[in-house]
Amino acid sequence: MRTEEQRAADWLLSAQAVRAQSATILAAAHAGRLRHFAVDAERLPVAAGYVAAVLEQNYPDLDVPYHARWRHFVVDGVDRWAAFAQGVDADPLELARMRISLAIVSVLLDAGAGETWQFADSQTGRVFSRSEGLAIASLEAFCGRRFCAPDAAVPGCDGRVLHGFSIEQLAEIFQVSDSNPLDGLDGRLGLLNRLGEAVVAQPQYFGPDGRLGNLADHFVSIARDGTIAADRILGILLAALGQIWPGRLSLAGRNLGDCWRHPAAHCGNAADGYVPFHKLSQWLSYSMVEPLCELGLKVTGLDELTGLAEYRNGGLLIDTGVLVPKHEGIIGLSHPPDSEVIVEWRALTVALLDELAPQVRAVFAKTPNDLPLASVLEGGTWAAGRQVAAELREGGPPPLNIISDGSVF
């Protein structure tokens, strides 16, 4: 029989727990019991209107894709991944393996890049920064077979290659130099190395040959009647990748990943005080939908996943006045990811995105099926967060800064 702590650990490794624990933080905000932020609910319609305007500007036909890594591989209207895949001689399952490999490694390398890092694209000559630059860099590396053996039949990610990756190799991929520093380079390398170790050590997910893309086969094997639930995808990712997260909280011997402490998070059991977010894992779950659908699977319950607790969504809420800092030691300063102010901000972001999404849908008379949360994020809150930051601050940095270790955002 499982102990209370084991059951609590199971629950904390779920989207349900992300939503529930974040809601307790929002309730504490409404009761005036938080130290760092207040919530101005009257500003929520203002934020929703701003998001709706950005969404309509970006997608006039309101046909909004999901907030997935694939969006960042489109440059000047050209889908770089699709163009590359057309030239690869592979069956649909092998293409899904490739696509899932690329999504995982690219998402895990996507932590905040810092204010000065840039990437010069060899195909267009353009210079990119932030998520777009990190995406194009990882795509170029993947297509160039940097994450697999040079003689591999198709590009992919081999566990042994990832495990043996060096800081020099990673710096070369991201064009890092003294004049072009990338935040959290060591942390990214640690994730990559531990990912390789996890792939080799878990044949139940990654096959006896230790290929990251074999996770596609696992998803196919657990689908029922051609259907797989989004929270099941997240659960598999959290289980298969759980050991890669560095020095995090644990419960009942399990690494809780992107999970932190906050005194206002109450649930009346062993999970009391823990606030999970699983930001990268949830974004990765959204990014699994298209590869799996191309294999003929149907992904259900997408809105069971939550909004993403990161600096564009959270920055939007501060910049539109929904989240109001309660003291001067927040805006313009840098905070570690485990600090109370950051945990509070991220939890309020998750909870308020659930309140914002229906208001955005109401502008267009859309239902959750017409405009799911994953599309509201894409159309949407992430883009709006970037736009309002650019309007308010030169260069568009977020209103507060997180000290990145390369493994959170």
* Beta strands 250-251 and 323-325, pairing class: unpaired
Backbone phi and psi for residue 198, each to the nearest 5 degrees, phi listed first? -65, -40
Is residue 119 a part of any domain in this protein?
yes
Is residue 287 a part of any domain in this protein?
yes
CB atoms within 10 A of CB 163: 18
For the segment 63-79, what is each residue's pLDDT rounded down to a tens digit?
A: 999 999 999 998 888 89
Backbone phi and psi for residue 60, each to the nearest 5 degrees, phi listed first? -60, -30
State pTM to two decimals.
0.94
Number of domains in the chain: 1
* Closest to 136 measured CA to CA, from 153, 123, 145, 149: 123
Q: CA 228 to CA 289: how far, in whole Å?
A: 10
Residue linked to tokens 């927040």: 330
Instruction: Give the rounded distance of the alpha carbon of 16 from its chain centre.
Output: 17
Is residue 407 a part of any domain in this protein?
no
Residues of the chain with pLDDT under 70: 405-409
The sign of the dihedral angle between the CA atoms of 323, 276, 302, 309 is: positive
Is residue 107 a part of any domain in this protein?
yes
Amino acid, res. 341: V
Q: 87 burial class (0-12, 13-18, 19+ CB within 10 angstroms)?
A: exposed
Backbone phi and psi for residue 219, each to the nearest 5 degrees, phi listed first? -60, -40
| Residue 51 pLDDT | 98
| Residue 407 pLDDT | 66
Is residue 408 a part of any domain in this protein?
no
Q: Residue 373 has which token pair? A: 């949360």
Q: Which domain holds residue 43?
A: 4-402
Q: CA 221 to CA 242: how far, in whole Å?
A: 21
| Residue 294 pLDDT | 92
